[in-house]
Chain A
Amino acid sequence: MSKNTEFVKFDKVDKSYDGKVLVVKDLNLNISEGEFITMLGPSGSGKTTCLMMLAGFETPTNGEIYLDSNPISNIPPHKRGIGMVFQNYALFPHMTVYENLAFPLRVRKVQKDEIDKKVDKALSMVSLSGFESRMPAQLSGGQQQRVAVARALVFDPAVVLMDEPLGALDKNLRESMQYEIKHIHENIGVTVVYVTHDQGEALTMSNRIAVFNDGKVQQLSSPDKLYEEPVNSFVAEFIGENNTFGGEVTDISKDVCKVKLQNGEILANPVSVTSKGDKTTVSIRPERALINPKDKMDNNQTGKIEEVIYHGDHTRVRLDLLGNKEFILKVPNSSNELDLKLGNEIKVGWNSQDARALDPK
C-alpha cells in the first residue's frame, strides 16, 4: 500500500494577526500519512499558529492547507475530523472519563454499544481501564494526559494534533509519556503532528522534525540528521550543545575550507559558505572534539582548562581555546587517567568533517 506523502500539505501559507507582522511566512510543508512529525521551535516561532490553522481555529491569511488533497480553509473545525490534545488537556471537568471519551462519538450519533466498545478500547490503549466513572479532577496529571490522548483518538481521526501535551508534567513522567505516545503511534499508525519547544522530546519521538524560527521552517529532516548535520547556525544552536567560532573563509575546496579566526586558523566542512571572504560560524559538537586524540585528526589545538563540572556519567570541561572561553568538552567518566585540573593545558583535536562552517550569526 503506497502511502500518500502529501497527506497534509501546507501550500505557501502566510499568517498575520495584526496586518503588520507575519507570524508564519511562506510555509510549505508536506506530511505523509502515518508520519509522526514534530514542529519544534522557541516560543513565538509560529509553530502553534501552524497547528491552530490545521485544526481550524485560525485561518491562513494567504495560501491553502490540504488534507488528503482537499482544501480545508473553509471547513469549520468540527467538520475536519482532526483529533487534538491540548496543552492543558482541556478535559471537560463536569464529565466523567467515560463521558469525556464518549463526547466525540455521541456528537457523531454512534450507537450506545458501539460507544462502549470504542471507549473501552481507547482506555485500555492508554492503560486506564476501570477509570470510566472518575472525574478528571480525581486523576493525576499523567492520567489526565492519557485521557486526553485517548479522547483525541477514540473517534479514529486521520490526523491527531498535539500542542505541547507534556508541558505540565514533571520530568520522569514526561519521559515515560513520550515513549507511551510513541508506542501508541506505532501501534495504530495515525498521522501525528506534535508541537513542542523541548528538543529532547522532539528527538526521541519523531519521524521527522520541522525546526521553526521566525515564522519559517529552518530545517526539516529526521532527528539524527538534524543533530549531526544542521544546515544553519540557528538549528545547530537550538538542537543540542554546540561550540562555535566566528571567522572568515580564506581558502575553499570541495569538501574542506580554511577559516581564519581572531587568533588562529582551522579547517572546516563548507556547508553554507561558497567563496573566499565569506563570513562564517563554525560549529563543533562537544563530543566530536577529543582530548589527546590517538588517531590523526586534521585540527589540533591546545586549550587551557577554565572549569570542570562533574555530571555523573560524564564530566564537562570548559576550555579557553583559540580565544573562545566557552569551548565545552564532554569527557566520559571511563577515561580516569586524564589529568583534568584547572589551569592545565591540554591537547584537543577534531576532524574538519565535524566542524561545520555555517552562516554567520
Chain B
Amino acid sequence: MSSETKQILTTDGIPLEISLKKAERKNKIKAFLLVAPLLLFLIITYIFPIGEMFTRSIDDKMITKMLPKTFKSMETWDGKELPSEDVFASFLSDFKILVEKKEHGKLAQRLNKEKNGFNTITKKLFRQVKRNKIDETQSIKEQIMKVHKRWRNVEYWQAIKRTAPPYTSAKYLKAMDMYLNEDNKITQVSEDRRIHRILWLRTVEVAFFVTVFCFLMGYPIAHLLATLPMKYSNLLMICVLLPFWTSLLVRTASWMILLQQQGVVNDFFVMIGLVADDNRPEMMYNKVGTYVAMTQILLPFMVLPLYSVMKTISPSLMRAGKSLGGTPFVAFWKVYFPLTIPGIGAGCLLVFILAIGYYITPALVGGASGTLISNQIAYHMKTTLDWSFASAMGLMLLGGVLVIYWLYNKLVGVDNIKLG
C-alpha cells in the first residue's frame, strides 16, 4: 500500500512529476508562442470590439455628465408632483454650464428623444439664460415655470429623471419595437411603427428555409460525392467548390441577371409558354430572390461537412443492412441516416448561422420585402449613424446565435458535430 502513495523519483532524486513538467515546459512555451500572434489578433479584432459594442449599446453617460447636480438633487424627489425649488436651481446651474460650453443643443436632442417637446422649451430657456433674464435671488422654480407652460408639466421632469442612470436598455427595447413609458413600464410601440419585429421574424424564417433547402439539395450531392469513384467525385467536388472561387458580389449580380423580369429565367419561361410575355413573375426584389441566391451561395457549407462524415461511413454497413433483410429504404433510414446526423448538425448549424447574419445578397436582390435584420444594422451604421442602436441589434443577433448553439447542444450534443 505504501508503495502506491510513495512519490516516484527519477534517478537523480527529483520527483517524477516535477521533472516531467520541467521537460515539457519548453515545448509548451514554444506552442504558446506559435499561437500567440493569432490570440493577440483575436483579442484585438474580436473580443475587444464585442466588448466595445456592448458598452456602446447600453451607454447613457453623456446626459449623466451634463446634469450632475440636477440628478443629485432629484434623488429625494418622489416623482409625483413638481420637484422642489432645489431641483430647479440645480438644473439651472447645470444648464448655465452647458450654455457656456455650447452643449445645450446636445442636451435638447437627448431629452427630446426621451419625450417630444423638449427641443422648444430648452431653446426658450436658453434665450432667457443668454439674456440673463433669470434672477437668482428670486424663486428659480417660478421663473423657469414661466418660460414655457411645459416646464410646469410634471411629465417633463419625470422624463429628465428617467435619463439619470448611466446605462439604459432603451436600444434593446427599441430593437424589439418596445420602449419604457412614463411609469417605467415596458410598452409596445404603436402598431404602424413596429418594423423591427417583422425583420427579426423574417430573418429567422429566411435562415430556416435556406437551411432546409440547402439540406434537401446538399444531402444527395454529398452522398454522390462520397460514393462515386475518385475520378468522378473530384470533378463533382470542383463543381461544388466553384462558387467559392467566384466573388460573392459577382455571384449575386449574376443571379440578378438571371432573375430580373427581363432576365434569362423569365425569358425561358416565356419561350416555353409557361407565362405570358406581359405577365412575367417577379422573382427578384422579394423573398424568392433572397431564397434562391442565398441557397446557392450557402450550399457548399452544407455539402462539405456532410461529405466528410459520409466519407467515413463504410459502404459495407449499408450492405450489412440489406443482407440482414432490410429493404434499401430501411437500410438507409435505420443505418445510414443516423450515422450522418453529426454532419447534418454541423452543416445546418453552419448554414443557419451564416444565413442569419447575411447582408450583401439580401441587400442586392432582397428589395423591400426581402431585407433582413443585417440590412437594418447596416442602415443604422451608415445612414442614421445611431451606432449604439446598431450595436444593440448586432449583439442581439450574436445572442440569438448563441442560443441556437445552446439549443443544439441540448438536443444533439456539440460533440456530435463533425466538420471533417
Q: What residues of A have a CB within 8 angstroms of the CB of B324 in the complex?
A: 78, 83-84, 103-104, 107, 151-152, 155
Interface size of B by Cβ–Cβ distance < 8 Å?
A: 19
The 0/1 profile, CB within 8 Å of A marked 1, for residues 328-339 of chain B is 101100110011
Interface segment among A86-94, A169-177, A268-276: the answer is A86-94
The 0/1 profile, CB within 8 Å of A marked 1, for residues 98-112 of chain B is 000000000000000
Q: Would B316 and A103 count as touching, CB distance under 8 A?
A: no
Expressed in whole angstroms, the Cα–Cα distance for A55 and B318 within the complex equals 13
Expressed in whole angstroms, the Cα–Cα distance for A152 and B321 within the complex equals 11
B83 at interface, CB cutoff 8 A: no
CB-CB contacts below 8 Å: A48-83 with B: 55-57, 76-83
Residue among B320, B326, B328, B334 with max Cβ neighbours from chain A (10 Å): B320
Q: What residues of A have a CB within 8 angstroms of the CB of B322 in the complex?
A: 56-57, 76-78
Q: What residues of A have a CB within 8 angstroms of the CB of B339 in the complex?
A: 93-94
A254 at interface, CB cutoff 8 A: no
Q: Is the interface of B mostly helix, strand, loop or mixed?
A: helix
Q: Would B326 and A90 count as touching, CB distance under 8 A?
A: no
The 0/1 profile, CB within 8 Å of B marked 1, for residues 95-111 of chain A is 00000000110011000
Expressed in whole angstroms, the Cα–Cα distance for A161 and B331 within the complex equals 19
Expressed in whole angstroms, the Cα–Cα distance for A91 and B335 within the complex equals 10
Q: What residues of A have a CB within 8 angstroms of the CB of B321 in the complex?
A: 92, 103
Expressed in whole angstroms, the Cα–Cα distance for A108 and B325 within the complex equals 7
Q: Would B325 and A90 count as touching, CB distance under 8 A?
A: no
What is the distance, in angstroms, from A88's C-beta to the closest C-beta of chain B? 6
What is the distance, in angstroms, from A76's C-beta to the closest C-beta of chain B? 8
Q: What residues of B have a CB within 8 angstroms of the CB of A104 in the complex?
A: 324-326
Q: When the two chains form the complex, which single residue of B316, B317, B327 contacts A87, counting CB atoms closer than 8 Å? A: B316
Q: What residues of B have a CB within 8 angstroms of the CB of A91 in the complex?
A: 320
Known: A78-B327, A108-B325. A88 touches B316 (CB 8 A): yes
CB-CB contacts below 8 Å: B302-324 with A: 314, 316-317, 319-324
Q: What residues of B have a CB within 8 angstroms of the CB of A81 in the complex?
A: 325
Expressed in whole angstroms, the Cα–Cα distance for A195 and B319 within the complex equals 17
Q: What residues of B have a CB within 8 angstroms of the CB of A57 in the complex?
A: 319, 322-323
What is the distance, in angstroms, from A274's C-beta to the closest C-beta of chain B? 46
Q: What residues of A have a CB within 8 angstroms of the CB of B320 in the complex?
A: 84, 86, 90-92
Q: What residues of A have a CB within 8 angstroms of the CB of B328 in the complex?
A: 76, 78
Q: What residues of A have a CB within 8 angstroms of the CB of B314 in the complex?
A: 88, 90
What is the distance, in angstroms, from A242's C-beta to the closest C-beta of chain B? 35
Expressed in whole angstroms, the Cα–Cα distance for A80 and B323 within the complex equals 8
Q: What residues of B have a CB within 8 angstroms of the CB of A152 in the complex?
A: 324
Q: What residues of B have a CB within 8 angstroms of the CB of A76 in the complex?
A: 322, 328
Q: Would B323 and A84 count as touching, CB distance under 8 A?
A: yes
What is the distance, in angstroms, from A350's C-beta to the closest C-beta of chain B? 47
Expressed in whole angstroms, the Cα–Cα distance for A88 and B334 within the complex equals 19
Q: Would A92 and B317 count as touching, CB distance under 8 A?
A: yes
What is the distance, in angstroms, from B419's C-beta to the closest C-beta of chain A? 19
The 0/1 profile, CB within 8 Å of B marked 1, for residues 195-214 of chain A is 00000000000000000000
CB-CB contacts below 8 Å: B58-97 with A: none
Q: Would B316 and A94 count as touching, CB distance under 8 A?
A: no
Q: What residues of B have a CB within 8 angstroms of the CB of A107 in the complex?
A: 324-327, 330
Expressed in whole angstroms, the Cα–Cα distance for A55 and B339 within the complex equals 24
Q: What residues of A have a CB within 8 angstroms of the CB of B325 in the complex?
A: 78-79, 81, 104, 107-108, 155
Expressed in whole angstroms, the Cα–Cα distance for A88 and B316 within the complex equals 8
What is the distance, in angstroms, from B337's C-beta to the closest C-beta of chain A? 10
Expressed in whole angstroms, the Cα–Cα distance for A78 and B335 within the complex equals 14
What is the distance, in angstroms, from A346's C-beta to the closest C-beta of chain B? 53
Expressed in whole angstroms, the Cα–Cα distance for A209 and B319 within the complex equals 26
The 0/1 profile, CB within 8 Å of B marked 1, for residues 16-50 of chain A is 00000000000000000000000000000000000
Expressed in whole angstroms, the Cα–Cα distance for A88 and B317 within the complex equals 10
Expressed in whole angstroms, the Cα–Cα distance for A90 and B328 within the complex equals 16
Q: When the two chains form the complex, which single residue of A82, A87, A92, A93 contacts B323, counting CB atoms closer than 8 Å? A: A82
Expressed in whole angstroms, the Cα–Cα distance for A87 and B321 within the complex equals 15
Q: When the two chains form the complex, which single residue of B323, B331, B335 contacts A83, counting CB atoms closer than 8 Å? A: B323
What is the distance, in angstroms, from A20's C-beta to the closest C-beta of chain B? 17
Chain B residue, CB-CB nearest to A85: B320
Residue among A56, A83, A90 with max Cβ neighbours from chain B (10 Å): A90
Chain B residue, CB-CB nearest to A57: B319
Expressed in whole angstroms, the Cα–Cα distance for A80 and B319 within the complex equals 13
Expressed in whole angstroms, the Cα–Cα distance for A108 and B321 within the complex equals 12
Q: Would B338 and A78 count as touching, CB distance under 8 A?
A: no
Residue among B323, B327, B328 with max Cβ neighbours from chain A (10 Å): B323
Q: What residues of B have a CB within 8 angstroms of the CB of A103 in the complex?
A: 321, 324, 326, 334
What is the distance, in angstroms, from B322's C-beta to the closest C-beta of chain A? 4
Q: When the two chains form the complex, which single residue of A90, A94, A108 contacts B319, counting CB atoms closer than 8 Å? A: A90
Residue among A77, A83, A84, A88 with max Cβ neighbours from chain B (10 Å): A77
Q: Would B331 and A90 count as touching, CB distance under 8 A?
A: no
Q: Would A86 and B326 count as touching, CB distance under 8 A?
A: no
Chain B residue, CB-CB nearest to A78: B322
Chain B residue, CB-CB nearest to A155: B325
CB-CB contacts below 8 Å: A122-181 with B: 151-152, 155, 161
Expressed in whole angstroms, the Cα–Cα distance for A103 and B322 within the complex equals 11
Chain B residue, CB-CB nearest to A87: B316
**B interface residues with partner A (beta carbon < 8 Å):** 314, 316-317, 319-328, 330-331, 334-335, 338-339
26 A-B residue pairs with CB within 8 Å: A57-B319, A77-B323, A78-B323, A78-B325, A78-B326, A78-B328, A78-B331, A81-B325, A83-B323, A84-B324, A86-B316, A88-B316, A90-B314, A90-B316, A92-B321, A92-B334, A92-B335, A94-B338, A103-B326, A103-B334, A104-B326, A107-B324, A107-B330, A108-B325, A155-B324, A161-B323
Q: Which 9 A-B pairs have the closest CB atoms?
A: A104-B324, A90-B320, A90-B316, A84-B323, A77-B322, A86-B316, A78-B322, A107-B326, A107-B325
Beyond contacts A78-B327, A92-B334, A93-B339: 12 other A-B pairs, Cβ-Cβ < 8 A, are A78-B322, A82-B323, A86-B319, A90-B314, A90-B316, A90-B317, A107-B325, A107-B327, A151-B324, A152-B324, A155-B324, A161-B323
